[in-house]
Structure 1
Amino acid sequence: MTAIADHDSYIAAAPEAFRPVLSHLRDLLGDALPDAEEMTAYDMPGFSVGGKVVASYAAFSRQVGLYFLAPAIAAHAEEITEAGLKATKTGVTFSPRKPIPDELVTKLARASREHAAD
């Protein structure tokens, strides 16, 4: 995808199969982070608090990536594994056919928000 201006543009430019998942993630993150501002960075839509990116998401050719501050991923590593998902230091990837559980998205977003203040 080319550089994006906002969340709507990013979701609209994503492959059709990914759009519902991306829209749902946007809604979940917005609800979990009511004080955050929508923004874009590194060609991904995200949410920032006090100028610090605390959550972002992206569509790739076969999977979706959801990114948070590293301490949030570490704090929920066991839950991520139990959900059958792959994680890196700052992200979780999943297939649009087997999305990340909503509750886990909310927990990760809130944990990332807490660590942004550190």
Structure 2
Amino acid sequence: MGTVEDYLSGLPPEQAQALRRVVELSHALAPDAEEGTSYGMPALLVGGRPLVGITAAVRHLSLFPFSSAVVAAVAPDLEGYSLSKGTIRFTVEQPLPDAVVEQVVRLRRAELGV
């Protein structure tokens, strides 16, 4: 198991399932991504640089694209979600749309030049 999978295995099943979906979609678009950490959180890395990170809190789950430009680019598709400069928050009851996760990964890969 890698860092991301270790993290997911310690979460309640419903949170793990919602975050695992984000990780699976990310891996599908970035098969070269490796599990690791970035800024102290579980992350997928490409060439040693952070692609996306994930965390779970009591009331929400988070996707970190490590880019305010990526968050701003997908913001119009996330009405009703909580966003900040570098974070997209969602819940088990309101998961991220697959298309948004895919767009985040594509945009972030482009930023990384991979």
Native 8 Å contact 1:10 1:44 kept in 2: no
Distance 1:43 1:13, change over 3 A: farther
Native 8 Å contact 1:72 1:112 kept in 2: yes
Deviation at 1:58, TM superposition (A): 0.8
Native 8 Å contact 1:37 1:48 kept in 2: yes
Q: Counterparts of 1:74 and 1:116 in 2: how far apart (Å)? A: 17
**1:55-82 residue CA offsets vs partner (Å, 9 max, x unmatched):** 111111111000102221122221122x
In terms of mean alpha carbon deviation, does 94-103 or 7-16 score higher? 7-16
Deviation at 1:96, TM superposition (A): 0.8
RMSD of aligned Cα (Å): 1.8
Aligned pairs, number = 112
Q: Indicate whether 1:10 and 2:39 are aligned.
A: no
Q: Counterparts of 1:16 and 1:8 in 2: how far apart (Å)? A: 13
Native 8 Å contact 1:86 1:94 kept in 2: yes
- Where does residue 105 of structure 1 map in the other structure? 101
The aligned amino acid for 1:8 is E
1:27-106 to structure 2, matched below 5 A, reads 27-68=24-65, 69-81=67-79, 84-106=80-102
Give the % identical residues: 28
TM-score normalised over the length of structure 1: 0.84
Unaligned runs of 5+ in 1: none
